[in-house]
């Protein structure tokens, strides 16, 4: 089978479960992984035949993709902020809105040298936030925390592959006894679990069947568990005039802002993603007492 025919073979099969545009995007990523050729080179060498190893990979990837397995997990790679990350079912696939959160922090760090020092990433998963920040601002001293040892192994692997020095810690942020001895930080950032169980009913199979539920879901009864826990932690582990950043559920921006306000955070600001949805929030903490 030629490279061109392999691409159309994948596209045809994938349109059974994806729309044409998404099927084409997945096919492009898959063929690039199999051949090692860029899109331009695949056009030039479209009539070149796949070798036996490449043909075997094609069939293997095709079988996995048709089971709704995300292409990032099939290929064990995802790109985030211009950096390649290894991913599998132990970590979430990095999303574009999370990159927007990283960009927001980078802009603030550049504009305010006061916070250009120590950062804590809570629920680091693949390490995408921590590593992207370190790659852009090498002077940052970054610590990354997660409850999952499997996730931290992947995050450590990604940090090593990208020459990013990160301090990784295993802890449950909802258990103060596990985090009380941590240092103070100029920035705390988190993309915590925030999808309620009832919202899962409308989610795609490729998310529900393969992405780690531990990193996705909260109970319907306590949807703000992690925002409460992390903001409580931040009150005792942020330096003076420092900042807390969250990725948020678009349906609960006002509620998260209210939580932060009630705990004494100031200058609370939400930010929209490229789709115009409230997906990020930032709050400042001043420890100075008013006379």
pLDDT, one tens digit per residue, over 248-262 is 999 999 999 999 999
How far, in Å, CA of 230 to CA of 237, rounded?
A: 10
> What region, left, alpha or beta, does residue 125 occupy, with left being phi > 0 and alpha being psi -120 to 50 degrees?
left
How far, in Å, CA of 126 to CA of 146, rounded?
A: 10
- pTM: predicted TM-score of the whole model, two decimal places: 0.93
Residue 33 has pLDDT above 80, yes or no: yes
Chain centroid to CA 27: how far? 23
How far, in Å, CA of 245 to CA of 239, rounded?
A: 14
- Long-range contacts made by residues 45-50, C-beta under 8 angstroms, separation at least 24? 45/3, 46/2, 46/3, 46/4, 47/2, 47/3, 47/4, 48/2, 48/3, 49/1, 49/2, 49/3, 50/1, 50/2, 50/3, 50/6
> What does the pLDDT average to over 113-122?
80
Alpha-helical (H) ranges within 122-183 are 128-136, 149-161, 176-179
Check residue 288 and give its pLDDT. 62
Name the pLDDT band for 151 (thresholds 50, 70, 90).
Answer: very high
Extract the tokens encoding 18.
């994806």
Mean pLDDT of the chain: 93
pLDDT, one tens digit per residue, over 221-244 is 899 999 999 999 999 999 988 999
pLDDT, one tens digit per residue, over 134-149 is 999 999 999 999 999 9
> What does the pLDDT average to over 183-195?
95
Extract the tokens encoding 280.
């990020």
How far, in Å, CA of 27 to CA of 50, rounded?
A: 15
Check residue 291 and give its pLDDT. 38
pLDDT, one tens digit per residue, over 203-223 is 888 898 899 999 998 988 899
pLDDT, one tens digit per residue, over 52-66 is 999 999 999 999 999
Residue 290 has pLDDT above 50, yes or no: no
């Amino acid at each position: 089978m030629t490279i061109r025919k392999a691409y159309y073979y994948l596209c045809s099969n994938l349109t059974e479960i994806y729309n044409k545009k998404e099927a084409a995007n997945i096919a492009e990523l898959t063929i690039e992984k199999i051949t090692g050729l860029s899109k331009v080179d695949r056009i030039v060498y479209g009539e070149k035949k796949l070798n036996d190893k490449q043909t075997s990979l094609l069939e293997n990837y095709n079988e996995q993709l048709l089971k709704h397995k995300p292409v990032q997990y099939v290929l064990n790679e995802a790109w985030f902020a211009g950096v390649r990350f290894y991913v599998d079912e132990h970590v979430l696939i990095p999303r574009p809105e999370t990159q927007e959160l990283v960009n927001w922090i980078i802009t603030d760090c550049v504009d305010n040298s006061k916070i250009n020092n120590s950062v804590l990433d809570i629920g680091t998963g693949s390490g995408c936030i921590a590593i992207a920040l370190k790659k852009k601002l090498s002077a940052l001293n970054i610590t990354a925390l997660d409850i999952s040892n499997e996730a931290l192994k992947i995050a450590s692997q990604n940090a090593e592959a990208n020459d990013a020095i990160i301090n990784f810690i295993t802890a449950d942020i909802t258990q103060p006894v596990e985090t009380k001895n941590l240092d103070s930080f100029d920035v705390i950032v988190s993309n915590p679990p925030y999808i309620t169980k009832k919202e899962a009913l409308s989610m795609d199979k490729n998310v529900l069947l393969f992405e780690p539920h531990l990193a996705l879901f909260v109970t319907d009864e306590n949807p703000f568990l992690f925002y409460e826990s992390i903001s409580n932690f931040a009150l005792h582990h942020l330096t003076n005039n420092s900042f807390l950043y969250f990725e948020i559920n678009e349906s609960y921006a006002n509620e998260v802002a209210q939580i932060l306000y009630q705990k004494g955070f100031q200058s609370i600001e939400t930010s929209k993603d490229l789709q115009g949805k409230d997906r990020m929030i930032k709050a400042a903490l001043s420890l100075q007492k008013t006379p």
